Amino acid sequence: MAIRSEALPTDAAALTEMVLALDAENEKLRVAMQTLKEMIFGKRSERLAAIVDEQLALELDDLATGVTPPAPANDHVPATKPAGKPRKKARRNIGALPRHLPRCEQVLEPDATACPCSQGVLHRIGEDVSEVLDVIPAILRVLRTIRPKYACRGCTDGVVQAKALPRLIEGGMASTALVAHVVVSKFAWYLPLYRQVQIVAGQGIHLDRATLAGWVKRAAWWLKSLYELQLRTIQASPRLFCDETPMPVLDPGRHRTRICQFWAHAMDDRPWGGPSPPAVAYVFADGRGTKEIAGQLTGFSGILQVDGYAAYKALARGHGGVIQLAFCLAHARRKFVEVYKTMQSPFAREVIERLQVVYAIEAEIRGSSAEQRLAVRRTRTAPLMEELKARLASMLDQLFSQSKLTEAINYTLNHWNGLTLFLRDGRVEVDSNTVERSMRPIAMGRRNSLFSGSEGGAESWAILSSLVNTAKLHEVDPQTYLVDVLERIVSGQTRSHQLHELLAWNWKAARELSARAAA
């Protein structure tokens, strides 16, 4: 679109922004044109070379598997830091190793214990002790279960024998611990099944990947009720975080993948000492539209903290005001970060620095009560946000309507009410980083596994990832947790009405109570 002389701004700063925006757009077009020329007229070996994001963005529909993890919020650190901010100490283990670890002692005796002068016996007068962290690599073993039979010699009746223990996989040759190890390795530590097959092959055990997939499916079947309880518990919270990410699923009929979605529902009241423990539950769905999220949040009312995706806005409109949207300030800031990286815009840098002050205040009040947080926000943060809004509005009228900076400003102003909800409710966070952090395990597993083999496999993925990653949020060893939970459910020790005892936070509290009682 041609720019008329009467449309040019008179302010020098606004004119600078316009020139920078046009220069950045021209550079992008020049790179795209050069890339297309190389693809068309270049050597055949170079025509199919990978094109980086900075060169040209091509939408490949279903071929885009989305295996790259989503960019984390707060991914930009401005060049300037607040003066006087103390540097965070590195978490280093200096001193004794944890007491709960078992000790294995080795004693190094000298070659001779006789005195070199009198040949008398030397007496022990002390010792030097040092400790190092050691490891025993995982080994496979055969667990033999023996059930003796007892009978009376004086009669033919009365044979006594212990009942066989229920198995996670009836008729199978895998213990509960082994199945849990496969599950945790895949969904907690992102180790695909084919790599696990290669690892056990090194110990002379040759398994098929389909066998491990069957174990995973069976474990998910046993744990589905616990997963559903965890999901209901999270959705019953009055403040809910929500996000979505692509999940490629193999479509055998077309011999390719189709893009489905993982939705994440999370809660965490730790920043203000509230009652809700940290937890996340993933839900597999065919798409990412309003229909999918509305079906998942049927009956929900409260505060939903999300990004600016249109499906959440439609959800709130369709529920007559019972759902209040709190938008993510980090998403708004990221748009200015992208402008600054591309154009070196002085105004974009100004916005980033203003938001940095807001985040510095949030770091100071993290862990305070909701009332204390709200009081500080109203006193210190609210004036900063009002100044920012006025600054954005004044600059908007002077910029080129199609510039990236204009888009960033429009996004921020259009979502302003939800972006500033934290100024009216001390329980609300400034961003949705809580759920974005919970998306990283999905992205890591997706990057290593590339896709899910079927819809059933994706549902198992959602179930097992929800449980093991919630255990990690509570600093619980996923292997120990999953073995105990599976054994309790399979054996019938924990009934359906007692499943709440196996939720990660309740399970951890019970273990800590038992440990204190034993001590």
Looking at residue 56, its pLDDT comes to 40
State yes or no: pLDDT of 267 exceeds 90.
Answer: yes
State yes or no: pLDDT of 419 exceeds 90.
Answer: yes
How far is C-alpha 223 from the geometric centre of its chain's CA atoms?
20
State yes or no: pLDDT of 487 exceeds 90.
Answer: yes
Query: Which DSSP string do the residues of 239-288 spell out, in sequence order?
Result: EEEEEEEEEEEEETTTTEEEEEEEEEEEE--GGGT-SPPPEEEEEEES--
Per-residue pLDDT tens for 130-157? 888 888 888 889 999 999 999 888 887 7
Q: What is the mean pLDDT of residues 100-104?
A: 87
Q: pLDDT band at residue 72, thresholds of 50, 70 and 90?
A: very low
State yes or no: pLDDT of 92 exceeds 90.
Answer: no
Residue 260's nearest CA partner among 59, 66, 468, 469 is: 66
Please enumerate in sequence order all residues whose Cβ is within 8 A of that of 85, keeping only pairs 6 or more positions apart, or say none.
Answer: 360
Per-residue pLDDT tens for 242-263? 999 999 998 887 778 899 999 9
State yes or no: pLDDT of 60 exceeds 70.
Answer: no
Looking at residue 131, its pLDDT comes to 87
User: Would you state the structure tokens that stand for residue 505, as one six-digit string?
Assistant: 């936070």
Alpha-carbon distance values, 491 to 17, 377, 386, 483, 504 (Å): 68, 52, 60, 12, 19
DSSP H or E segment with residue 323: strand 323-327
Looking at residue 62, its pLDDT comes to 34
Q: What is the mean pLDDT of residues 425-429?
A: 95
User: Would you state the structure tokens that stand for residue 119, as one six-digit string?
Assistant: 């040949």
Q: pLDDT band at residue 95, thresholds of 50, 70 and 90?
A: low
Looking at residue 478, its pLDDT comes to 96
Residue 180's nearest CA partner among 432, 488, 420 is: 488
Give the percent of the chain with pLDDT over 70: 86
Cα(140)–Cα(205) distance, integer angstroms? 9
Between 215-229, 234-248, 308-322, 388-402, the lowest mean confidence (pLDDT) is in 388-402
Per-residue pLDDT tens for 314-337? 999 988 789 999 999 999 999 999
State yes or no: pLDDT of 431 exceeds 90.
Answer: yes
Between 36-45, 163-172, 211-220, 338-347, the lowest mean confidence (pLDDT) is in 36-45
Residue 458's nearest CA partner among 229, 258, 194 is: 258
Between 60 and 264, the higher pLDDT residue: 264
State yes or no: pLDDT of 265 exceeds 90.
Answer: yes
- pTM comes to 0.78
Looking at residue 39, its pLDDT comes to 63
State yes or no: pLDDT of 46 exceeds 90.
Answer: no
Please enumerate in sequence order all residues whose Cβ is within 8 A of that of 174, keeping only pairs 6 or more positions apart, or say none.
Answer: 168, 215
Mean pLDDT over the full length of the chain:
85
Q: Which 8-state DSSP code applies to residue 117? A: T
Looking at residue 273, its pLDDT comes to 93
Asked if 285 contacts 265 with a C-beta cutoff of 8 angstroms, the reply is: no
Per-residue pLDDT tens for 284-317? 999 999 999 999 999 899 999 999 999 999 999 9
Residue 264's nearest CA partner among 466, 467, 459 is: 466
Between 50-54, 94-98, 202-206, 230-234, the lowest mean confidence (pLDDT) is in 50-54
Q: pLDDT band at residue 439, thresholds of 50, 70 and 90?
A: very high
Alpha-carbon distance values, 8 to 108, 347, 405 (Å): 84, 18, 16
Amino acid identity, residue 103?
R
Looking at residue 513, its pLDDT comes to 93
Please enumerate in sequence order all residues whose Cβ is within 8 A of that of 97, keeping only pairs 6 or more positions apart, or say none.
Answer: 131, 133
Q: pLDDT band at residue 276, thresholds of 50, 70 and 90?
A: very high
Per-residue pLDDT tens for 230-246? 999 999 999 999 999 99
Between 31-35, 225-229, 438-442, 510-514, the lowest mean confidence (pLDDT) is in 31-35
State yes or no: pLDDT of 75 exceeds 50.
Answer: no
User: Would you state the structure tokens that stand for residue 263, as one six-digit string?
Assistant: 């939705």
Looking at residue 306, its pLDDT comes to 95
Asked if 425 contacts 303 with a C-beta cutoff of 8 angstroms, the reply is: yes
Amino acid identity, residue 390?
A
Q: pLDDT band at residue 40, thresholds of 50, 70 and 90?
A: low
Between 191 and 320, the higher pLDDT residue: 191
